[in-house]
Amino acid sequence: MTDDNIIDIVVAELTKYPSVKFQKGKNDELKIYRNDEYGFDITLQTNVRENTLHFGSFHWHYENTEEEIDEMLSQLIFALVGLVRIQEFSKNSIAYKWTLQIKDSDGKWHDNGTMQTINLKFWTTPDISYLQNSILPESIVK
């Protein structure tokens, strides 16, 4: 699979679900919009060197190997059906830390990675919220 057709393949699948709102920018970018205020937008960017998958402010980089592309597409599907969520930390309504969590088969959430910016008010207690999509039915992964 080449980086040129990754987005075309995703778009072809998304068009099967008319309720999904997405926008294909140039050939190398696709944005999938959250369906409610509790979700997160998803952006897929591809290029010759690597691919990047954004879940709101959280993102992962993937090499252009078959294994990494398969992993990226699996993460994308999991994000669309709600099997991943973002734990967002904020202080004074400003988000500064995001942890990607994955739901296991027992329904338990496990941290899979964290990104953050510098927070100079480390002594204050953060507000924690969870962002989770339900854009597609979970039954498509079973």
Residue 137 has pLDDT above 90, yes or no: no
More confident residue, 113 or 122: 113
40-77 residue pLDDT tens: 999 999 998 999 999 999 999 999 999 999 999 999 99
101-121 residue pLDDT tens: 999 999 999 999 999 998 777
Which long-range CB contacts under 8 A does 92-95 form with residues at least 24 apart?
Answer: 92/121, 93/127, 95/57
Residue 32 has pLDDT above 90, yes or no: yes
Kindly report the pTM of this predicted structure.
Answer: 0.90
pLDDT of residue 15: 95
DSSP-derived secondary structure for the chain: --HHHHHHHHHHHHTT-TT--EEE-STTEEEE--SSTTS--EEEEE-SSEEEEEETTEEEEEESSHHHHHHHHHHHHHHHHTSEEEEEEEETTEEEEEEEEEE-TTS-EEEEEEEE---S-TTSPPEEEEEE--SS-GGGG-
